[in-house]
A and B are shown apart, each in its own frame.
Chain A
Amino acid sequence: MKLSNKTKVLEQGEMTLAERMYLPAIVGGMATTLKHFFMKPATIRYPEQKRYLGPIFRGQHILKRDEEGRERCTACGLCAVACPAEAISMVADERKKGEETLYREEKYAKVYEINMLRCIFCGLCEEACPKQAIYLRHDKMVTVFNERDEVIYGKDKLVEDMGNRYLREGWK
């Protein structure tokens, strides 16, 4: 039964003379490959050259500091709760006197660890954070692991470096 007029009838009769002589088609094909021979390759030399992956690519996590260099994280644990892979764990501590320049809130994360083998880079921690402390940065990917003890990223690898701040478009 004919349902629509979209059906295309393919004509597959006897081949024409030019088709049976192969040569015109061969020359045409060789012209095509020669054209591609001089074209720019579509691939890149990956580890040395990297493509821009877009402004919202979800790469390695970063624990942001505010403009005065204080850690924003208050160890509320919402990111750990939001995390579907249960990759985040933290230990909270109270801010002492004289540490006001280090931590923005009265409570801070003494230990903040992300297991990069568990993390699925979904970005739910970033959405859950009420203090805008954790982000997945778009310009850096988590490096390849060689050893098991490299897998868990602590605060030493996650907290933002004030000399080399991570800023996105539209941020101050």
Chain B
Amino acid sequence: MEIISTLFIAKAVFIVAVFAVTLGVAAYSTYFERKVAAFMQDRVGPDRAGPFGILQPLADAVKMFMKEDFIPTNSNKWLFIAGPCLSMLTALMTSAVVPFGDKLEIGGGATIDLQGIDVNIGILWVFGIVSLGVYGILIGGWASNNKYSLIGAIRAASQNISYELAMGMSIIAILMLSGSLSTKTIVEAQQNGHWNILYQPLGFLIFLVCAFAECNRTPFDLPECETELIGGYHTEYSSMKLGFYLFAEYINMFISGAVMATLYFGGYDYLGNSWVAEHWGENVATLIGVGALIGKALFFVFVFMWVRWTLPRFRYDQLMNLGWTILIPLAMFNVVLTGFSIISGWLMIVSWVGVALLLVAIIVYDSVTYKKKKVAVN
């Protein structure tokens, strides 16, 4: 009884900590987004609120709360309110299955897993929740009773559905390697430097591109579009409801970074893991592991921003073309390649050689079919 209540409290503390970290990172992502944008454009960025502007998220939140909370007359009121709530809910739920660390020993000989819940369908859970995430946007867009919002929402929905296919197929290769859907097992299979990125270079690339599309980030940020849609699915939203939508996007970025770290970069694994465990104790090693995972996730958040301030966006037909005619066949190829590598036994060699062969084949095919540039005649 004693040990169960300790475990219960420890788990509750852990879950609250995960929420706090997620929300804190999301809040500060808004600040770092602007800072990164500024640095990449040779500017200074926000620096008025507090030293270096670090109080900017607070100022933004105050601004958001002070704005008028407006609900359009002809909107569907309940769905209009449900939209941002659903968006936020689904964004936060994904972190339940991300293993943030190994076992942590707490008093009384009890240990807890630093993971919300270790279900044997961890990755399926992530996928289920990510698919639900589009409901938040679609309901918000539909309930606004505004054609531009609806078009934005439909864009988001079709884009997410298209890229989920390729994303799921790139995950299948991971599942073939680990033989389990549990995120914990996947991470444990990657300990001591056997990160999946080494065996799945192509799969990671596909997953990364799809993650951009799933988070509605540039270059796939078609759902938000000032010039065509006045704003996108959140045109009619104001105040903290709009804030929730924007916040959910940043939470999604952080969580997808954490999922990428879990699936491809060894989760909480880091260099010198066993050395730390030997010299400083298991608990220290575990906590550094948590730091490693969050560090990796934050790096991916930076990559999201980096790409956003580098690339222009795709046109909608290009987006669909990329998803359906390039990424899905590539993901299929990746599954076959992984199968070959498992049968042959040389996992790493076969996967890299396979990618190289694919590249050579594309180049050969292209040089055969490529038409010379037509020079305009004046």
Contact = CB atoms under 8 A, between A and B. Distances in A.
**Which applies to chain B's interface (DSSP): helix, strand, loop or mixed?**
loop
B363 interface: yes
Given A30-B310, A37-B39, A45-B47, 5 more contacts: A17-B370, A30-B307, A41-B38, A41-B42, A41-B44
**Which applies to chain A's interface (DSSP): helix, strand, loop or mixed?**
loop
B42 A14 contact: no
Contacts of A44: 44
Contacts of B38: 41
Interface residues of A, number: 27
B163 to A, nearest CB: 15
B184 to A, nearest CB: 33
B51 to A, nearest CB: 12
Nearest to A38: B39
Given A36-B39, A41-B42, A43-B43, A9 B370 contact: no
Contacts, number: 66
Interface in B117-155: none
B376 interface: yes
Contact of B375 (A9, A14, A30): A9
B210 to A, nearest CB: 15
A43 B310 contact: no
A14 B310 contact: no
Nearest to A34: B306
A67 interface: no
Interface string B83-109: 000000000000000000000000000
Interface string B348-364: 00000000000000110
B42 A7 contact: no
Given A17-B363, A37-B39, A45-B47, A26 B376 contact: no
Contacts of B40: 33-34, 36-37
A32 interface: yes
Interface residues of B, number: 26
A36 B370 contact: no
Contacts of A30: 306-307, 310
Interface in B227-275: none
B309 interface: yes
A39 B372 contact: no
Nearest to B47: A45
B129 to A, nearest CB: 29
Given A7-B378, A9-B378, A33-B306, A14 B44 contact: no
B366 interface: yes
- Most chain A CB inside 10 Å of its own CB: which residue of B42, B363, B378: B42
A10 B42 contact: no
A42 interface: yes
| 8 closest A-B pairs by CB | A13-B373, A17-B366, A42-B42, A33-B310, A33-B40, A29-B310, A13-B374, A37-B39
